Amino acid sequence: VRAGALFKATRARSWQDFASARAPPARCPSGMRAAARAYMHSLERRPMLTKSSTSFAAFSITDLLAQRRERRAGWDAARTVRGGLYGFLYHGPFVHTLWGKRWGLERFLPGISWPMVVSRVAADQLALLPVNMLVFCAWPALLTRGPTQEGLAEAEAAVRSGWWEACAFGWSIWPFVHLINFKFVPLELRILVLNTVSIGVFSYATLVRDGGGPMSSSQLARTLTGSVSVGAGRAKTDAP
């Protein structure tokens, strides 16, 4: 009850009051307190850049986890950068804008009543998630080859190969996460929760053996990182 009251209160306060209310407790290690204060300060001054940087870090980490699971001979830095750039150039700005109060869900479906929360989750999952899945499936081909005929062909093949699979897996997780995220987490921190859960889910996936269920871990890695590219006439796992 107290946690719910705190989160409700933060919505009625100014950003400064919110930042003050969410200050890290004194019992946290000093390094963690300093990092949390720096993050909140950056979020206040440069919200889109901060959220984009958070997405860059999250997608870079998920790719590093994928490469470790694949037991690659060496680290493919370019692949990790491609994943991070998806988060920085697309995912962070996209979510910041379309979850926000000016152009996004908070403008048209405001408030934290359950009807509004459920409506936001439905809009996010039915309208925004399919677009996200389409972009991250096509991202590696378009980033490496550009909007050329070859790049567009590879992007189309990647989307055909992985888009529905990615959407279906996303719908098995994100509606439940966002019911809590949209209800109890302040708007400014929701993308941080999104990215943290993404890393957590992928970290769990690294403990699962390939072929251990209806979706293999390699498919799960592709779903979580958008690591799809096409070569030699077939889809293969490559990079976010």
Q: Which two tokens stand for residue 42?
A: 């950056």
> What are residue 106's DSSP bridge partners?
none
Instruction: Give the pLDDT of residue 26.
Output: 56
Exposure string for 77-93, b = 16+ CB within 10 A, e = fewer? eebbbbbbbbbbebbbb
33: its two tokens: 């307190």
Which residue, among 206, 85, 227, has the nearest Cα to 162 in the 3D structure?
227
pLDDT score for 201: 77
Question: Distance between CA 164 and CA 235 in Å, rounded?
Answer: 14
Question: Residue 13's pLDDT is what?
Answer: 43
User: What was the pLDDT predicted at 36?
Assistant: 86
d(C-alpha 56, C-alpha 54), whole Å: 5
- CA distance linking residue 224 with residue 91, whole number of Å: 13
Global confidence as pTM: 0.75
**Rounded to 5 degrees, what angle do the CA atoms 69, 74, 78 make?**
95
- CA of 132: how far to CAs of 11, 32, 186, in Å? 28, 32, 22
- Along the chain (240 residues), what's the average pLDDT of each consecutive run of 10 residues? 46 46 58 85 94 95 82 83 93 95 94 96 96 90 90 92 87 94 95 91 54 44 42 36
pLDDT at position 177 is 96
The one-letter amino acid code at 206 reads: T
Asked if 86 contacts 240 with a C-beta cutoff of 8 angstroms, the reply is: yes
